[in-house]
Structure 1
Amino acid sequence: MGSLTVPACVSTVLLDIEGTTTPITFVKEILFPYIQDNVKEYLQDHWQEEECQEDVQHLRLQAEKDKELEGFVPIPVNEAEIQQIIQGVVDNVHWQMLLDRKTTALKQLQGHMWRAAYASGQVKGEVYADVAPALRKWKEAGIKLYIFSSGSIEAQKLLFGYSIEGALLELFHGHFDTTVGPKVQSESYRKIADHIGCSTESILFLTDITKEAKAAKEAGMNVAVVVRPGNAALTDEEKASYPLVNSFEQITLHPVQ
């Protein structure tokens, strides 16, 4: 695993987050536990706000769809006591998170809670030490920077807007989440290139997941697999199939003329 010199045609870098710019443990050990520990207090503090009521309504609609699932946790109707409803929402959220569900209703509430946590300084986005210096260097060289993550665009912006390295959000030209398509399908990467307005050949995609690297490569992108502590181990075949880096410092990009 050594230095990686990228073709001179590359003018854009597309970045995954978990395991690439940010430790996987940040989501599992910081963000998710924050929701579990604080959802009741958040609901009590924001109950009268329209946004909170919309979040609860969406969770209630999701609960209606989930009635047949094992262990289903209902949410009381509006006629019930407020504290009873709140406890129902808390229990439902904990149940969904225990099953590692990614429902839109759950993600919406989580996003609003994280927004409040970042803004208050209770949470700061983690990035590896090599990330911010490299992003600034690439930006100065005229490279355009984008994110493609399974996390929502709002969650992406919060992480980089309130990072341990300060406000990094201004370094990025744009953000993509899975509304553009699954990260393991090559068509998603073609759509991203079309949206950016460049060829797939002019994009370097950095990820820790070889299935994502394979999809991006099939779409015509340059790829490199980022190897970080705590990431899933790679097979010998995977190691032989893709360029590997364990720091952004190892990546050399040509300045855009």
Structure 2
Amino acid sequence: AHSAPLTLASGEVVGWVGSVLDVTERQRVERLAARQQELLEASGRLVAMGEVASTLAHELNQPLGALSGFATGLLNRVRERRITLDEIVPVVERMERMADKAGRVIQRINAFARRQDMTRLPMALAPFVARVAHSVPLPEGVALELSLAAGDGPTVPADALLLENALHNLVLNAGEWAPRSGRTPARVRVSLVPGERQIGVCVADSGPGVPPEQRATVFDAFSSHKPGGMGMGLAICRSIAEAHHGRIELADSPDLLGAKFTLWLPLT
């Protein structure tokens, strides 16, 4: 903007009109940019929440199904008087843990929907990835291989429940595709890949890979190439990665010959 001195009738120069206008305009643009960023983040959270909610029944099916099975078995043994008090306690404790986990998943989704900040806390990545990968039920005959850092490995700021959801989806998806190439043994490999100020969680499989014509839409919601699939798992993974200021990439696995998904997370 053109700057001109502001002069009183007495001839005293008291300021520069252009400079004041420059500062005011810059402040207005900065406020507008901050508001736009806030709206984008809110929109992103709502999209991610919608995607997570779409698969809520599927994600909670395992713990709720297990709860129902434990309750039915326990009730039958109690009615038939085939169980002691000492045997009851561990069963009820396990049911309590499953119910608690299901409840915390729902709480995190509710917080996501209300635009509350995620609980991003420092987390040792290697033991977390190992625990989640081992908890995923892979099809019979599919081998899980881990290639993680020694000890706790790098620490990342993360929302543990949301990140667990993303990693669980990636490993589950890899396990379903791994046997479909006919190569034996069918394998899923989970590894950590160092990057510049970031760390990648890589999930590769021995499946047929993703054809080039499908790569542009593989992360889109409702884009599924699995029989009966809703096409939400990878969309959720992408949303969770972006909520952590990270990203997710798809490539070919040079050694397993299938697909390789890498979830990149900033170290700070």
User: Larger RCO: Structure 1 or Structure 2 (Cα < 8 Å, ≥ 6 residues apart)?
Assistant: 1
Bigger radius of gyration, 1 or 2?
A: 2
Coarse TM-score class (shorter-chain normalised)? under 0.3
Between Structure 1 and Structure 2, which shows a larger proportion of strand residues? 2
TM-score (norm 1): 0.26
